[in-house]
Amino acid sequence: MSMILIFESMGLLEGLLTDQQKFQKSFQASSITALLSAGLSTSPTVAAAESASGIQSGGKTGLTALTSGVMFAISIFVAPVIAMIPQAAISPVIIITGALMMKELANIKMDSLDDWFPAFLIITLIPLTGSISTGLEFGFIAYPLVKIFAKKTAELNPVIVTVSILFLLNLILSATI
């Protein structure tokens, strides 16, 4: 889960930040909130794709997050009413969010198999397995393998190879346990 949290945060911040000079401080802030969440026994707080709407509407000072927090606090009292909404009613929102994220496919080099195939695995295996982490695992495992088969090992670095091996071990252990 730690690896998923790290890569999710990195990917989202990379996509959401207009000024890449702020990436390190933003990633550090995300890391601190994830640690505090663990200390408070809550699920990890991460930047989300939905944060893009707040950022695009000008919310950069924290007032947008504060307003969202207040609205979530109010939602505690209306949770029984919200619970009556069927899961099927939520599906269109998730589908639209996924469709909006598809514009990032334009950044993938489609002219060579070793660049687009791992991304293709991630995109297809997330919905087919019903798990974001499993889809990411297969993409991260496939990336160095495809680069090796394409004889482009110079494009690999030790961090990518290490992460891929860790994902492979996690996948094997998950399947055997």
Q: Which structural domain range is residue 43 located in? A: 1-48
Residue 77 lies in a domain: no
Residue 103 lies in a domain: no
Q: Which of 27, 48, 69 is the last residue of a domain?
A: 48
pLDDT the model gives residue 165: 93
Residue 54 lies in a domain: no
Residue ranges of the alpha helices (H) in the chain?
2-16, 23-39, 51-56, 63-83, 87-101, 113-129, 132-149, 158-176
Residue 93 lies in a domain: no
Q: Flag whether pLDDT at 52 surpasses 80.
A: no
Mean pLDDT of 109-115: 87
Q: Flag whether pLDDT at 13 surpasses 80.
A: no
pLDDT digits over 18-41, tens only?
777 877 888 788 888 888 887 778
pLDDT the model gives residue 3: 65
Q: Bigger pLDDT: 14 or 139? A: 139
The helix-helix angle for 132-149 and 113-129 (nearest 10°) equals: 160
Mean pLDDT of 105-117: 87
Residue 134 lies in a domain: yes
pLDDT, the chain, mean: 81
pLDDT the model gives residue 38: 77
pLDDT the model gives residue 108: 85
Report the C-alpha gap between 8 and 138 in whole angstroms. 15
pLDDT the model gives residue 132: 76
Residue 149 lies in a domain: yes
Confidence of residue 162 (pLDDT cuts 50, 70, 90): very high
Q: Flag whether pLDDT at 141 surpasses 90.
A: yes
Residue 67 lies in a domain: no
* Residue 137 burial (CB count, 10 A): 24
In order of 2, 131, 135, the CA distances from 152 in angstroms are: 29, 30, 23
Total tally of structural domains belonging to the chain: 2
Residue 42 lies in a domain: yes
